[in-house]
Structure 1
Amino acid sequence: MPTPAIQTEQATDSPLQVAFCPYFEDNPYQGSLAAALEKQGVHVEGVRPTTLIASRGGSAVQQADILHLHWLDHALLANSLSKTFSKGCVFLLQLAWLKLRGKRVVWTVHNLTSHESKRPQTELRLLRRVASVADRVLVHSNAAGKLAQQQYKFPTAKLRVVPHANYIDDYPAAPPRDNARRAIGVPQDELVFLFLGAIRPYKGLEALLSALRTLPDAGIRVLIVGKPLNSSIDETLRAAAERDGRVDYRPGFVPDEEVSTYMSAADVVVLPYRRVLTSGSTLLAASFAKPIIVPNVESIKEGLDPEGIIVFDTDQDPTLALADAMTTAIQQRMELAHMGQRNFDRVVAWGWTEMGAATAAVYRELLPSSHRSTEQAER
């Protein structure tokens, strides 16, 4: 994994105060990052985008040294163009006011635009304004940094690469494969392709199911586990499972211990995404030593071992591309465990401790020396 240009030690004086905006209590990424930052002498509070300067959430922002922005679709987008413009302007005015008051702003780019954006061009224009206001723009890979600069037109001096941490210590220990399969009722001899996580249109499950229908092999199973976005997606997947016994659909929230069980039971994790910039799902799969079917997207491939992934061509028909990738997995069945281990070996050294230290270093380079470690002050 690439390492940041600046490393840091924990500050010895008063804790640095950071406001995450927005903050989702059930988001494992933000929770783990906040916990890692606390160990670096950084205290994190969560705020809503609508209350940056209001009394309800403004106090946390006012006390913060850094405002750290994350996913901004809820801050900028609305049901109509006029409401989006109004909402976006209000948010940008809040940012401008905070900047005038001396607040430092960091923005982590998780997606170039929101996944199901109805107004991507309007959203892009608003996000370019966010990038112009931000003091630092964080991305999780070099490739993502290049794409972010192309889209948002901000100076290279603002860009920092902080790789996404692994999830090796975030979930219960995985049971042995045979035990996991018995626990979830999956035959020992089947080749299991696993999709695990929130089920949304951009994730490409329709193409995955179409690809499965082209494969004659009866000894495979596509295990789809997660909460669907809406009833339409749920009905589609239920119907697919009724038509094809190889489709094993298990809707609903997945507790941490079940994540470990499903990962252990799988042979391959498949991510049939249509478009994506960064995916925590790849780090999750690699943390469980699984080979992964991924789109031909440099920002996704960069953090994984080239020998641990099977890449499908995003310029090809998605059904054919995924069918080719699944066929490759079937043909390489005896190599899959080795491929998964290559992914694990690639990500094992960069956990939340490392990511927290790198993120804290970005914060401290924006602040007076009283918030920096002795090592940084000497530089």
Structure 2
Amino acid sequence: MSTVRVLTSHGEPRPTTNPYITMLTGALRRTPGMEVVPFSARAALLGRYSVVHLHWPETILGLGGRRFTGRLVRWVLAALLLARLTIARTPVVRTVHNVELPADASGAQRLLLRWFDRLTTHRIVLNDRTECSGPSTTIPHGHYRDWYTGPRSPMVPGRLQYVGLVRRYKGVEGLVEAFRSVADDSLTLDIAGAASSQELVVTVSALAYDDPRVSLRFDYLSDDDLVAAVTSAELVVLPYRFMHNSGTVLAAISLDRPVLVPDTPVNADLAAEVGPGWIHTFTGDLTGEAIEAALAAAREPRAASPDLSAREWDDAGQAHLAIYRLALSRAGSRERSAAPRSRASS
């Protein structure tokens, strides 16, 4: 079979790139029969590729950029790319990370994102609970055992840990309030991660200011910082108000630390997959009672490591290649059906 050239929606991975993207790119490059073309304006508009794979198409649009002129240039680039894909009938594969359009997308950006959606030939979902229109295939999010290899910290009894970007929907304010209602002075809470706004820093700091058991670090975490923080914890707490796919959950259990997360069907499936004792859940708003119950459950005997055998990266590379070939075959079928039939000579 011929080599499949895949244009990705991200550039060449850098040290600050989402580890999921970096590890997936490595897996794709290790898969025979595939060539990865990192995104750039030149590659997208003038390069040679047979399939496009989108993750967060809003990154192509410069969503969140501060300068209007910069965003406008990105919109024009996206429109030209979409026109090329439409005319050339290039198949588009989309990994569904988020189930809704970005809340801060403008009207123009939403139009372009919907255009990307209409061109999508096949969708990759990270769990069986993701609902989407059109053909889709589940490829589980790979584990992080081979990524987070920095020095581990000794586990601190009673340490509760939050890691990751501090945003409103992640419920960090509720975590601090719930923790403060726990009377046990042997417990500590550490919150580590960059905040999305100064307003949120002020809010969380005000909630925690007179409880010496709470420590706050509103800084970007390097990989080694994350490993040190997670492995120092007896329980990682992720009190999201909404959780569908979470790389942070997988980071924690890849580092052999149990987590407390919202009770959702996705998390219930993950708990069944990885084995007992690793995924603990709460319903509704997080409470002090839920924290204490999860910590007690996390102290029960469990396997030395969770079962992550279904999340090997080389398996993911082969699965992606199969989907790219499927998308190409469907595109070829559409072209044949759209082509005018030649008349038989008499």
**TM-score, normalization: structure 1?**
0.73
| Aligned-partner Cα distance in 1 for 2:159–2:200 | 22
| Aligned-partner Cα distance in 2 for 1:44–1:359 | 12
Structure 2 residue aligned with 1:264, among 231, 243, 267?
Answer: 231
User: Percent identical across equivalent pairs?
Assistant: 26
What is the correspondence of 1:26-65 to structure 2 with a 5 Å cutoff? 26-41=17-32, 42-47=34-39, 51=41, 55=42, 57-59=44-46, 62-65=47-50
Match of 1:133 in 2: 119
Contact 2:239 2:261 (8 Å CA) reproduced: yes
Rg larger in structure? 2
SS in 1 for 2:328: coil
Structure 1 residue aligned with 2:290, among 297, 314, 325?
Answer: 325
Match of 1:185 in 2: none
Contact 2:148 2:255 (8 Å CA) reproduced: no
Match of 1:205 in 2: 172
Cα distance change on mapping 1:124 and 1:272 into 2, 3 Å: farther
Cα distance change on mapping 1:18 and 1:275 into 2, 3 Å: same
Cα distance change on mapping 1:71 and 1:242 into 2, 3 Å: same
| Aligned-partner Cα distance in 2 for 1:87–1:277 | 29
Instruction: Output the amino acid matched with 2:49.
Output: A
Match of 1:106 in 2: 93
Is 1:180 aligned to 2:154, yes or no? yes
Q: Deviation per CA, 1:132-179: give whole Å up to 9, x if none.
A: 3101111101101x2xx2xxxx23xx211111000011121553xxx5
Whichever structure has more helix as a proportion of its residues is 1
Deviation for aligned residue 1:87: 8.0
Segment drifting more, 36-45 vs 227-236? 227-236
Match of 2:344 in 1: none
Match of 1:276 in 2: 243
| Aligned-partner Cα distance in 2 for 1:339–1:328 | 20
| Aligned-partner Cα distance in 1 for 2:291–2:110 | 35
Cα distance change on mapping 1:93 and 1:324 into 2, 3 Å: farther
CA RMSD of aligned residues (A): 3.3
| Aligned-partner Cα distance in 2 for 1:340–1:311 | 20
| Aligned-partner Cα distance in 2 for 1:243–1:89 | 51
Unaligned runs of 5+ in 1: 1-10, 182-187, 370-379
Deviation for aligned residue 1:292: 1.2
Cα distance change on mapping 1:355 and 1:304 into 2, 3 Å: farther
SS in 2 for 1:212: helix
Deviation for aligned residue 1:122: 9.2
Is 1:221 aligned to 2:188, yes or no? yes
Deviation for aligned residue 1:120: 9.7
Contact 2:176 2:208 (8 Å CA) reproduced: no
Contact 2:161 2:233 (8 Å CA) reproduced: yes
| Aligned-partner Cα distance in 1 for 2:8–2:117 | 16
SS in 2 for 1:143: coil
Q: Deviation per CA, 1:327-355: give whole Å up to 9, x if none.
A: 212333521x62784xx22x244221121
SS in 2 for 1:64: coil
Cα distance change on mapping 1:34 and 1:86 into 2, 3 Å: closer
Is 1:297 aligned to 2:268, yes or no? no
What is the correspondence of 1:1-379 to structure 2 with a 5 Å cutoff? 15-23=3-11, 25=14, 26-41=17-32, 42-47=34-39, 51=41, 55=42, 57-59=44-46, 62-75=47-60, 91=78, 94-113=81-100, 117-118=103-104, 127-144=113-130, 146=131, 149=132, 154-155=133-134, 158-172=135-149, 174-175=151-152, 180=154, 188=156, 190-305=157-272, 307=276, 308-313=278-283, 316=284, 318=285, 321-335=286-300, 338=302, 341=305, 344-345=306-307, 347-367=308-328
Cα distance change on mapping 1:340 and 1:225 into 2, 3 Å: farther
Deviation for aligned residue 1:298: 1.8
SS in 2 for 1:304: helix
Cα distance change on mapping 1:125 and 1:326 into 2, 3 Å: farther
Q: Deviation per CA, 1:199-223: give whole Å up to 9, x if none.
A: 2222110111111122212111111
Cα distance change on mapping 1:128 and 1:261 into 2, 3 Å: same
SS in 2 for 1:103: coil
| Aligned-partner Cα distance in 1 for 2:114–2:327 | 21
Deviation for aligned residue 1:108: 0.7
Q: Deviation per CA, 1:92-138: give whole Å up to 9, x if none.
A: 663243132131110111011256x1469998776554333101111
**TM-score, normalization: structure 2?**
0.80
Deviation for aligned residue 1:34: 0.5
Cα distance change on mapping 1:163 and 1:330 into 2, 3 Å: closer
Cα distance change on mapping 1:362 and 1:208 into 2, 3 Å: same
Cα distance change on mapping 1:302 and 1:47 into 2, 3 Å: same
